Structure 1
Amino acid sequence: MTPSNDTFDGTFPFSPRFSDVAGFRMHYVDEGPADGAVVLCIHGEPTWGYLFRDLIKALAGDYRVIAPDHMGFGKSETPEHRTYWLQDHIDNLEKLVLALDLDDITLVMHDFGGPVGMGLAARHPGRIRRVVSTNGPTPFGQSTLFDRLNANAAVSPWFQWILRSDSQGRLEPVLDELGFNILSVLKLNGFENHARIDDTWLRAYGSRFALPTDSAGAIGWAKGFAIGAHRFEVPDALALDSIRSKPALAIWGEADRTLAAEHFLPLFSEIFPMAPVHRLAGVGHYSFEDAPQEITELIAAFMKTH
Structure 2
Amino acid sequence: MVQPDATFDGTFPFTPHFSAASGFRMHYVDEGPRHGEVVLCLHGEPTWGYLFRHLVPVLCATRRVVVPDHMGFGKSATPAERSYWLQDHVDNLEALVVALDLTDVTLVMHDFGGPVGMGLAARHPDRIRRVISANGPTPFGQSDLLARVTANAQVSPWFQWIASAAANGELEPVLGQLGFNILSTLKLNGFENNAVITDAWLAAYGSPFARPADCLGAIGWARGFATGAHQFEAPTAAADRAIRGKPALAIWGEADRTLHADHFLPLFSAIFPAAPVRRLAGVGHYCFEDAPQEVAGLIAEFIAQT
TM-score normalised per structure 2: 1.00
Distance in 2 (CA, whole Å) between partners of 1:301 and 1:45 is 27
Q: Which residue of 2 aligns with 1:146?
A: 146
Q: Does 1:118 align with 2:127?
A: no
Q: Deviations over 1:175-220 (max 9, x none)?
A: 0000000000000000000001010000000011010000000000
| Alignment map for 1:103-252 (pairs within 5 Å) | 103-252=103-252
| Alignment map for 1:259-278 (pairs within 5 Å) | 259-278=259-278
Which runs of 5 or more residues in structure 2 are unaligned? none
Q: Deviations over 1:82-137 (max 9, x none)?
A: 00000000000000000000000000000000000000000000000000000000
TM-score normalised per structure 1: 1.00
Runs (4+) off by over 3 Å: none
CA-CA distance at 1:296 after TM superposition: 0.4
Distance in 1 (CA, whole Å) between partners of 2:286 and 2:217 is 18
Distance in 2 (CA, whole Å) between partners of 1:216 and 1:193 is 27
Distance in 1 (CA, whole Å) between partners of 2:37 and 2:22 is 24
Q: Which residue of 2 aligns with 1:2?
A: 2
- The number of residues matched between the two structures is 306
Q: Which residue of 2 aligns with 1:100?
A: 100
Q: Which residue of 2 aligns with 1:285?
A: 285
Distance in 2 (CA, whole Å) between partners of 1:81 and 1:3 is 21
Q: Which residue of 1 aligns with 2:45?
A: 45
Which runs of 5 or more residues in structure 1 are unaligned? none
1:116 partner letter: V
DSSP 3-state at the match of 2:179: helix
- Percent identity, aligned pairs only? 72
Distance in 2 (CA, whole Å) between partners of 1:57 and 1:206 is 24
Q: Deviations over 1:51-72 (max 9, x none)?
A: 0000001100010000000000
Q: Which residue of 2 aligns with 1:59?
A: 59
Q: Deviations over 1:255-287 (max 9, x none)?
A: 000000000000000000000000000000000
DSSP 3-state at the match of 1:235: coil
2:285 partner letter: H
CA-CA distance at 1:11 after TM superposition: 0.4
DSSP 3-state at the match of 1:258: coil
Distance in 1 (CA, whole Å) between partners of 2:8 and 2:36 is 27
Distance in 2 (CA, whole Å) between partners of 1:21 and 1:95 is 6
User: CA RMSD for the aligned pairs?
Assistant: 0.3
